[in-house]
Structure 1
């Protein structure tokens, strides 16, 4: 026999997948991925919630130094009382105002008598080096102990009872002051109704 007669045709052993098989494989892969994500979320979500609560408590402790406990205020979203020896020494309330670059969100600590204890800016998009200085001294320190009547922004350095605007950031100065003033007014009204 000649070699030509013994030559066998080559068989293509490559497996061809149908669209149905590909769909099944992708479905199984997505199901397994989803299951893994769900299991990870199940174990990490409580830790994330606890961590966020701890961060918020730490922020409130820095606003009302000496407070031993923070309790949510019933009927008020994101409001907390700051208590020491069972007595309310302050309220920590959210505030928001529109600045030059957009919304400025804050937490404001206010005494039951309507005086500012402290504030912190949570989010801001103000101009770096100008408006973002609202969270720094000396601008920040001007608010401590002030009541609503003193929360007016001025550029006149002789008006020491008012809030001195930051140079080059008057809009931000007014926005922060407005947000804090509204928070103080809300606390004053709330305490007055009790």
Structure 2
């Protein structure tokens, strides 16, 4: 009888040891993940900010200086204080003489694989998008990622018409994506064959962002000053 009891208790003892070991390994892995995140978070944030600054100069050709502005609760743009985070931030670009040359605006929307984040340059005098850059994308390599490097596709955003109506309240023509080769108007995005969803997503992102942001920017254009 004693031997039988020992045989029945042995598996339970082994199970407890295995469970204890698994919990210990899990806790150690969790600790390592947290330490790695804490140790690299500052560096990652710095690199992201550096990449954003480089992108601003790409989407606003000819600028020499930039300044960040945030949209306050009253609907006005204020200079963004250093190390302060705000929900809606735009980046004004200025010439060497301090004249406003354009405004870089971020936009985001669902692509084929995940959310796509972009930055585009807006010329408020010409009312045109004058530059475009993909900040984050997980689109399919060789297909969807053409939104980042296809020269014909990127040419859509060198002088895209985003004019507002007379009272500056909405776009005259919404930004839309058309099939490759069927673009007839400057407010249209010439899509990419084989990457229909990704290229259509860009059109949707720009249409939503410009519809929301451009009327606010035009109403407050005098607030964008280098100092």
TM score, norm. by length of structure 1:
0.68
Relative to structure 1, the CA distance from residue 86 to residue 186 in structure 2 (aligned partners, 3 Å threshold; closer, same or farther) is: farther
1:127 equivalent in alignment to 2:140? yes
Corresponding residue number in structure 2 for 1:181: 207
The 5-angstrom pairing of residues 1-194 of structure 1 reads 52-75=48-71, 77-84=88-95, 85-113=97-125, 114-136=127-149, 137-148=151-162, 149=173, 151-155=175-179, 157-161=181-185, 162-194=188-220
Relative to structure 1, the CA distance from residue 169 to residue 185 in structure 2 (aligned partners, 3 Å threshold; closer, same or farther) is: same
How far did residue 184 of structure 1 move? 2.5
How far did residue 130 of structure 1 move? 1.1
Give the conservation status (yes or no) of the 8 Å contact 1:115–1:184: no
Relative to structure 1, the CA distance from residue 156 to residue 135 in structure 2 (aligned partners, 3 Å threshold; closer, same or farther) is: closer
Relative to structure 1, the CA distance from residue 135 to residue 55 in structure 2 (aligned partners, 3 Å threshold; closer, same or farther) is: closer
Determine the C-alpha separation between the residues in 2 that align with 1:51 and 1:173: 27
Relative to structure 1, the CA distance from residue 47 to residue 129 in structure 2 (aligned partners, 3 Å threshold; closer, same or farther) is: closer
Larger radius of gyration: 1
Determine the C-alpha separation between the residues in 2 that align with 1:70 and 1:130: 34
Unaligned 5+ residue runs, structure 2?
Answer: 1-34, 72-86, 163-172, 221-227
Determine the C-alpha separation between the residues in 1 that align with 2:70 and 2:160: 26
How far did residue 52 of structure 1 move? 4.6
Relative to structure 1, the CA distance from residue 93 to residue 184 in structure 2 (aligned partners, 3 Å threshold; closer, same or farther) is: same
Give the conservation status (yes or no) of the 8 Å contact 2:122–2:130: yes
Determine the C-alpha separation between the residues in 1 that align with 2:143 and 2:219: 39
How far did residue 45 of structure 1 move? 8.1
2:159 counterpart SS class: coil
How far did residue 108 of structure 1 move? 1.1
Determine the C-alpha separation between the residues in 2 that align with 1:123 and 1:50: 16
Runs of 4+ in 1 over 3 A off after TM superposition: 44-55
Deviations 1:103-148 (A, max 9, x none): 1001111111431111111111211111110112111111221123
